Amino acid sequence: MVRMTVLASGSKGNSTIVSSATTRILVDAGLSCRELMKRMRAAGEQPEALDAILITHEHQDHVQGMAVTARKLGIPVYLTEPTHRAWVRWMTPQKRITYAEWLEQRRASVQRSAFSVQEKQGAGSREQGAEDGVRRSALGVQECDLASVRCSADVGAEPDPEEKAAAEEAITEAAKEPQRDPAALPAVEYFRAGSGFRIGDIAITPFTIPHDAADPVGFVFEADGVRIAIATDLGYMPSNVSVQLRGCDVLMLESNHDVDMLRDGPYPWSVKQRVMSRVGHLSNDAAAEFLARSYDGGAAYVVLAHLSENNNLPELARISAERALRDRMSLLANHLLLAEQDRPLEAIVL
């Protein structure tokens, strides 16, 4: 039996579990650890049973809870070496600042410390001092978390509660172990796009996707004769990706934005250009074009994913894909699902 549970999908966080009878893999960890745990339990998945975390690329909406989750569960993280390097750079920024910026940071830090002491009133004075010191060092984690690049689809959106929760979580974690390097992971395993590998009894083929990250990949998973493909965060559908998506039982495909909504929407032109570029995100039209022309029609489940909250509507994505699949879909044999940002999808079991 092979199972896929989409915990979240969208520009604010992506995470999916792919599991066989004996192996369970978390593909991306783009929500806070706390939220991931909550969603896993809600979806009937046991976090403690996870064997590994597998990462597509280093954008915040794919790695937000990666380190905390890996540490909490004591499981390895699989990613490419360039992706790992890019993530470590974000976690430990080496930024030169001007004296004026340094002064401003000091002032903000003192204000935050005062706030922190107020918050902790009633605790012993020695403890207060320690907490204060930890908070300040932990704030480095928060700042670098927030500075990380988000997926280009929703750049310019309001600061979101999920990020705040993750920053608070990073602070709590660092407060527990102040000496810990925020980029520390229990174990790191490198893979390379194009080279298959195994985790337990699941065979994995990573393939390169066109996207504005260090070394982004999609995945094909195979276990018990079932083939599952995940292809999101791609600016267009190149033939190398199209080939990988053949013969799949489950196809999770990006349907990020409606071109007109994006064009007429509130984003600055530079961001619009980036999303629409060949290293941005797949539009409803581009997904539909793939489904109509290059897709082999074999998947029992097509899951539309990574829908933009600002530049798409679930119904637009659905109608566009349904039109494209019109001649391929049999209502009994094929299912078209839409992955959601705010709640897990019911598990797909094959």
* Contact positions vs Zn ion (CB under 5 A): 59, 61, 151, 233
Least gap, CB of 34 to Zn ion (angstroms): 20
Least gap, CB of 61 to Zn ion (angstroms): 4
Least gap, CB of 59 to Zn ion (angstroms): 4
CB closer to Zn ion, 39 vs 135: 39
CB closer to Zn ion, 20 vs 232: 232
Beta pairing class for 3-8 and 24-27: unpaired
User: Residue 10: which residues within 8 A CB-CB, separation 6 or more?
Assistant: 61, 306, 307, 308, 309, 339, 340, 341
Least gap, CB of 62 to Zn ion (angstroms): 6
CB closer to Zn ion, 23 vs 64: 64
What are the strands of the beta sheet with 301-305, ordered from one edge? 197-199, 202-208, 217-223, 226-231, 250-254, 301-305, 335-338
Least gap, CB of 11 to Zn ion (angstroms): 6
Q: CA 67 to CA 144: how far, in whole Å?
A: 14
Tokens of 30: 């783009």
User: DSSP secondary-structure letter at 159?
Assistant: P
Least gap, CB of 343 to Zn ion (angstroms): 18
Q: CA 178 to CA 171: how far, in whole Å?
A: 9
CB closer to Zn ion, 66 vs 223: 66
CB closer to Zn ion, 131 vs 162: 162
Tokens of 91: 């976690």
**Most distant CA pair in the chain: distance in Å?**
72
CB closer to Zn ion, 91 vs 226: 91
